[in-house]
């Protein structure tokens, strides 16, 4: 016979929890007040949005050739930056993982570098590289490389740390060194996860490369910024549609590849 028991009651929260929740609630209220959210502003915003849509339709395809060339440049920026970033992410991830790092201090240094790359926004990196190497695709590629390392190295490292010790110990028992264990056990086991993460990173990089053009890092973002500045909303809509087509097409391709590999 099954014995029914009463569901567990919520425990009384500690004073630290109460104070923390109170602080966040206060910050939320202050944030809402600072944003000056009101029904009047929301209603006028909706009207302005309809005004933009009405002036943007139908999309203007007159400059489809230079727009397509800029979109191709954006794709190249994302591709080159992601490939180099993924290749650099693997050694960084090996240095940042507790089961492959040669020393704890190296592990913490690698983790700190990855955290810094991931924490600083893409646009900040883009501005830094535009100042460093000038306007154009190179600044965008360098930004994508840094962003990819921050994204992939973190997930590569977590996957490496999740690898079961059995295969690695078997290789060590036969006299295999650290490099042999990494190349013969850890990387082959983690490879499907690496591929999936890399594809996600490439999808992310395409979207990021579009935004990077707004600060002069090359690609379709330059065309989009110019169209909005000149209030050519029909041309801007054409650019947005082209970006949407490219992003959705690669997302479908990426999903199909992940199903085959993972």
- Residue 221 has, within 13 A of its CA and on its CB side, a CA count of 24
The Cα 262–Cα 248 span in angstroms is 21
Ordered DSSP codes for 61-126: -TTHHHHHHHHHHHHHHHHHHHHHHHHHHHHHHHHHSTTT-SSHHHHHHHHHHHHHHHHS-HHHHH
Tokens coding 175: 């006299």
Structure confidence at residue 177 (pLDDT): 57
Structure confidence at residue 84 (pLDDT): 92
Q: Are 163 and 186 in contact (CB under 8 A)?
A: yes
Spell out the residues 6+ positions from residue 208 whose beta carbon is closer than 8 angstroms to its own: 78, 122, 143, 144, 147
Hey, where are the domains in the chain? 67-261
- 32-84 pLDDT per residue, tens: 788 777 777 778 878 888 877 777 788 777 888 888 888 888 888 888 999 99
Q: What are phi and psi of 103, to 5 degrees?
A: -155, 145
Ordered DSSP codes for 27-62: HHHHHHHHTT--HHHHHHHHHHHHHHHHHHPSP--T
The Cα 136–Cα 215 span in angstroms is 10
> pTM, whole model, 2 decimals?
0.76
Q: Which CATH class is domain 67-261?
A: mainly alpha
Structure confidence at residue 17 (pLDDT): 82
Q: Are 218 and 77 in contact (CB under 8 A)?
A: yes
Structure confidence at residue 42 (pLDDT): 78
Query: Which residues of the chain are modeled with pLDDT < 50?
Result: none
């Amino acid at each position: 016979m099954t014995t029914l028991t009463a569901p567990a009651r919520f425990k009384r929260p500690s004073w630290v929890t109460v104070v923390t929740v109170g602080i966040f609630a206060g910050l939320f209220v202050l944030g809402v007040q600072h944003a000056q959210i009101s029904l009047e502003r929301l209603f006028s915003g909706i009207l302005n949005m309809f005004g933009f849509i009405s002036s943007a339709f139908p999309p203007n395809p007159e400059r489809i050739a230079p727009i397509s060339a800029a979109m191709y440049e954006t794709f190249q920026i994302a591709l080159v930056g992601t490939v180099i970033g993924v290749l650099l992410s693997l050694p960084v991830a090996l240095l940042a993982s507790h089961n492959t790092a040669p020393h704890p201090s190296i592990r913490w240094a690698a983790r700190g570098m990855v955290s810094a790359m991931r924490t600083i926004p893409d646009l900040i990196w883009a501005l830094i590289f535009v100042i460093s190497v000038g306007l154009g695709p190179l600044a965008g590629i360098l930004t994508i490389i840094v962003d990819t390392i921050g994204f992939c190295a973190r997930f590569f490292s977590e996957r490496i740390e999740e690898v079961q010790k059995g295969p690695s110990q078997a290789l060590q028992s036969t006299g295999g060194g650290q490099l042999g264990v990494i190349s013969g056990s850890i990387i082959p086991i983690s490879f499907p996860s690496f591929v999936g993460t890399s594809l996600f990173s490439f999808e992310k990089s395409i979207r990021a490369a579009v935004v990077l053009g707004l600060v002069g890092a090359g690609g379709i973002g330059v065309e989009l910024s110019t169209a909005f500045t000149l209030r050519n909303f029909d041309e801007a809509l054409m650019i947005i549609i082209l970006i949407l087509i490219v992003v959705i097409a690669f997302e479908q391709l990426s999903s199909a590849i992940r199903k085959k590999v993972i």
